[in-house]
Every structure is written in C-alpha cells, then in structure tokens.
Amino acid sequence: MKIAFLTPEYPHPKCNHSAGIGTSIYNLGNALVQLGHQVKVLIYGQDQDEVFEDEGIIIHKIKNIKVKGLSRWLTQKKIEKLINQLHRANEIDVVESIDWGGITSFIQPKKCPILIKLHGSDTYFCKLEGRHLKKKNYLHERRALQKANAHLAVSDFVAQKTNVFFQLHLDFTTVYNGVDLDKFSTHQNQQTPHQILYVGTLIRKKGVLDLAYIFNVLVSFNPKASLVLIGSDASDVLTNSTSTWQLMQEIFTPEALQRVKYKGKVPYNEVKQYLEKASVCVFPSYAEAFPVSWLEAMAMKKAIVASNIGWAKEALEDKKEGFLVHPSKHEEFAQKIDVLLNDQALNKSFGDKAHQKVLDQFTNEKIAKLNLDFYEKIVHR
C-alpha cells in the first residue's frame, strides 16, 4: 500500500519541534516500510516547502500560507491540492491525519480517503485538564472528525472521551502505538542505583509540578535518590510563566534540588542511553492518549511508577507490570518509587513483565499490521 501521514510534527533535524505524535508516526512509518509498503509524511507548519527522503520515507515539508484571516483555509487548500496530486499520480492510496487542531476540517480530496487517528485533540486535553477551550478549535476538530472517512484511536480511553466531549457517536477502532525493539533493548547491569528518570515535555498536564513535590517527599526518606529530567521546557497556561522548569525549581526543597539534573531536550536516538541508566521511570501525567515514552521504558525492562488515569490501565497492570498511582497522591507515589529503588527482585519482576507485554502487544511490526488491515478495508470500501 501507499500511505501518507498528515501531521504538524516529525522527529527529523530538518523539521520543527516534535513530541509524542511525531514519534508514533515515525515508528509506524518505519515499520510499514520494513513490511514493503510506501510511506509519505506530509508535515505542515514548516519553515519552507521541501521534499526529501529519510530512512525510506518520503518527507514533504509544507510551509503554511500567511494571509490575515485566511491563513488556515489557504493552507488547508494547499494541502488538499497536494493530496489530490499525489493520489492522481498513484503515489498514495490513503491519508491518515491527526485529531489535534482539526487540520482536515476543510480539506476535501476528490477521491483519496482520509482517516483520522486520535492521539488526543486540543478539546480532549482541555477537557481532561479543565483548561479553557477555544471555540474555533472545538469546531474545527469536531468538523474534521465528522467529515473523515474512518476513525482510529490509540487507546479505548481517548476514543470514549472524544465521543463524550464532542457529543458524537463515531465508531472508533483502537490500534495502540508501537515501539521499535531494535532501538529499545536493554542491559540491566547498566542501571545507576537510586536514579529516577522522567522523559517528556516539562508541562503541567504531564504532572511535572506534582513530580517536584513527590521527589521532595522521596528525598526526605531516601537521600540517595536522584532525578533526571529529559524533555523540552514549556510555558505554563495557569501562571503565564514562560518556563515550567522554573516553576519546578521553586517547588523543590534545597536538598531535593541538589539531586535533580535537567538535561533539556535530547535527540531521540539518545533517549535510550538515559533509559539504560535509570532504576525507575516515572510518568505522573494527568492527560495522555497512549504515550510512546511509556512503551519505550517498558521495552527497556524498566520498573515504572505512573499515573492511574484512564489510558494507563491499557498499558500497564497495577502491581504486576508497574505501580499505578494518582499523581496528586504525592506521598504514596514517592513510597512506590522507594519500594522499587530498594527491592531489586520486584524491580526486575516489573521490568521483565512490562517487556513481555510489549513483545505480546506493542511491537512495531504487530501494530503496523493492524494498521494495514484497517487501511485496506477503507481503501477497498
């Protein structure tokens, strides 16, 4: 098949900022190429129009058109024209777009089917976090969902909540994100004792402010504990602070702050090095769809303490493959981390079982085949 992904992000040095959505598309795209299919990635919001190849995938960078009051519509029509050209030239069979921002709300290809995969819309995250939602974002996202030829979701939780938040009754097929085991394999003897790792953007919705409180508690009874943070800094919508990292520093006690290292954003191919050294990985998030970072830690046989909200139970079983705790329960969260730092047998058991779950359910190849089955049904229909 010939599949195109429409996205605002992708993890390549020539492209703008990328996070979880970009990583999931990268993983799926590479798995599809390895299975013998053709993949294009159409990335809007870029600094220039450019086409190049990367690891067998054809990348189309798309520069947005800027005209006051018409920028979005003109950019959508530019993307629509490109999709029509590629489909007419028999270079794509289907387009998979994302739900965030509703980019396809006014994109109407003549013949090429468009499906939307839920990674978490702006509406979804605003509702989960209790943040203000812009009406135009809601309307674009809802229209895009209604117009799509078919719908996928990366978790049952995001599918159910999306229907509730948009007051829709769409039929979603859940296909989880996957992870590349060739890139995320582990040697546990490389662990640094008592080292905790957080991977993700420093942003309120991912529970990093709670993590600062949690680490304060942990250091109070385990002064050997250290915390490594990896990910881009972000502004904070509630305080208007330009730096969530700055807010975190104000929360840490002096003793805890001495045990924290913030590495900032690191290249994707270097994340594995930090995972190898971690004794425990922590993900205290309030809002996710189905995070790839969790799967990468599981693949690396890491003991995990994570949020127990919604999507989490689809990734990890509590007390079997990790500990699931609400991020607001700082003392309990800290205690669970401490248990895994000190009980190496339990630490290893959780890591081994999490790794086995990835092998059984979340390998790139398995996930790619499930996606392909869905694409073929849509194209033939």
Q: Do 2-178+363-380 and 188-361 have matching folds?
A: yes
List 46's β-bridge partners, or say none. 63
pLDDT score for 117 = 97
DSSP string of 82-105, one letter each residue: HHHHHHHTTS-SEEEEESGGGTTT
Half-sphere exposure of residue 293: CA atoms within 13 angstroms, side-chain side? 26
pLDDT score for 184 = 87
Question: CA distances (Å), 158 to each of 11, 27, 149, 175, 243, in order?
Answer: 23, 20, 19, 11, 28
pTM of the model: 0.90
Both tokens of residue 73?
Answer: 């519509």
Domain 188-361, CATH homologous superfamily name and number: Glycogen Phosphorylase B; (3.40.50.2000)
List 54's β-bridge partners, or say none. 57
Count of C-beta atoms within a 10 Å radius of residue 281: 27
CA 208 – CA 18 distance, rounded (Å): 19
Both tokens of residue 220?
Answer: 């109070």
CA 326 – CA 317 distance, rounded (Å): 14
CA 245 – CA 260 distance, rounded (Å): 11
List 4's β-bridge partners, or say none. 40, 95
- Asked if residue 96 lies in contact with residue 5, where contact means CB atoms within 8 angstroms, the answer is yes
pLDDT score for 189 = 61
Number of H helices and E strands in the chain, helices first, is 14, 14
- Asked if residue 321 lies in contact with residue 302, where contact means CB atoms within 8 angstroms, the answer is no
CA 84 – CA 95 distance, rounded (Å): 11
Both tokens of residue 39?
Answer: 């993949």
Per the document, the length of the chain is 381
pLDDT score for 187 = 63
Identify the CATH class of 2-178+363-380: alpha beta
Both tokens of residue 369?
Answer: 């085949």
Element (H, E) at 51: strand 50-54
The dihedral region occupied by 255, where left means phi > 0, alpha psi between -120 and 50, and beta the remainder, is: alpha
The residue extents of the domains of the chain are 2-178+363-380, 188-361
Task: Find the distance separating the first CA and the last CA of the chain, reported in whole Å.
Answer: 15
pLDDT score for 188 = 60
CA 328 – CA 124 distance, rounded (Å): 20
pLDDT by residue, tens only, the chain of 381 residues: 999 999 999 988 898 877 889 989 999 999 999 999 999 999 999 999 999 999 999 999 999 999 998 999 999 999 999 999 999 999 999 999 999 999 999 999 989 999 999 999 999 999 998 889 999 999 999 999 999 999 999 999 999 999 999 999 999 999 999 998 888 877 666 889 999 999 999 999 999 999 999 999 999 999 999 999 999 999 998 899 999 999 999 999 999 999 999 999 888 888 999 999 999 999 999 999 999 999 999 999 999 999 999 999 999 999 999 999 999 999 999 999 999 999 999 999 999 999 999 999 999 999 999 999 999 999 987
- Residue 11's φ and ψ, nearest 5 degrees, are -80, 80
pLDDT score for 164 = 97
pLDDT score for 20 = 82
3-class SS at 116? strand
CA 351 – CA 225 distance, rounded (Å): 19
Q: Report which of 222, 214, 115, 124 is spatially closest to residue 172, judged by C-alpha positions.
A: 115
